Amino acid sequence: MTILLPTTSTLPSPLGGTLVNGVRRAGHDFDPAELAALPRLNIGERTLADLEMLATGAYSPLTGFVNEADYLSVIERLRLADGTPWSIPITLPVSAEHAGLRGRVVLSFEGQDVGWVDVQEAYTARKAWEAREVYRTEDGTHPGVAALYAQGDFNLAGPVALFEVPRGHFPRHHRTPAEVREVIEARGWRSAVAFQTRNPIHRAHEYLQKVALELVDGLLLHPLVGTTKGDDVPAATRVQAYEVLLEGYYPQARTLLSVYPAAMRYAGPREAILHALSRRNYGVTHFIVGRDHAGVGSYYGTYDAQEIFSAYTPEELGVQILKFEHTFYCNSCGQLVSPRTCPHDSSHHLVLSGTKVREKLRAGENLPAEFTRPEVAEVLRAAYADKA
């Protein structure tokens, strides 16, 4: 049974009021011998990430993979069936051969048992509809839609358990929501802002973070380290870039680097909501949403991810959204600016897309100091040199 931990914290309450705890330790919470005769289901990296997010409470109030009522309601209304704000259905997709599973099923990843799901129902996935509503496209070249189409045609639903939080890649920075809350409280932060990115840190990111830090007590740097598309910069490189930046440019007592283990869906506006709500569960009061948050290609409008939050009241969200316009370095202003503060046209601006940055790195070229700190540029240059 999934445990719901009551919170007496002065921090924002988790979504639904309690922080889900579905982590179960072998030999302490259950006898591993009891699992021997149970059916097993092999899962991939994306489902393993969802399992961790569910079991650690990052996706509170969800206690497991959603049932059909919640699945349909989230897609159609951006809410769970009980009316709670939610934007992307968290599902356990399977093929037809596994659609008949019921009861406790052990989940295995790369040959190792990692958790279980108590299957209560199975239902057919409405993939085309889900693609249109969640991703705003049925284009199979969209990475999120491609992943959706590649999944099984049925979803299993039920509460989950995770045997161990997988901290292997980033043991220093891998914290559950409860652990992040403990750090925030220990530091005495009564307000904190979270920043999400799947890209290497650059000066525009730094600008947004520090402007936000002027408004609150603490900054949670929360880079996503789950599955991303193949041409994104690897998580290990991105985390290393944050580490070198924090050493010289951020106030240590007011900054916390902690990884966000979710898989990237590239769902743009819908994913911005998911990112904000889950960060509430980590204990922050504010969340930054910038230009084309969680977007890819040209599928979403520049500020669609900001506008979608009007679907909820501030009380429902429980986290304040800090909306920033596109930020860049202006050669004529001699500093980082946005369209709100810069009077010059684009010919004066230094703007490098992620694609352009990767091209420069592959070619062994230096990144401009106005775009990124030299220490970060060296981390990126070394990582791409190793791949050459």
Tell me the catalytic residues: 198-199
Record the tokens describing residue 292, joined without a space.
């084309």
d(C-alpha 366, C-alpha 267), whole Å: 32
Residue pair 377/367 in contact (Cβ under 8 Å)? The answer is yes
The rounded distance, in Å, linking the Cα atoms of 76 and 380 is 41
**How far is 25 from 20, CA to CA, in rounded Å?**
15
- State how far the Cα of 22 lies from the Cα of 63, in Å rounded to an integer: 7
Distance between CA atoms of residues 377 and 388, nearest Å: 16
The dihedral of CA 296, 298, 303, 306: what is its sign? negative
Q: Is 258 helix (H, G, I), strand (E, B) or coil?
A: coil
Cα 302 to Cα 72: distance, rounded to the nearest angstrom: 28
Token pair of 299 as six digits: 């599928």
Q: Are 214 and 147 in contact (CB under 8 A)?
A: no
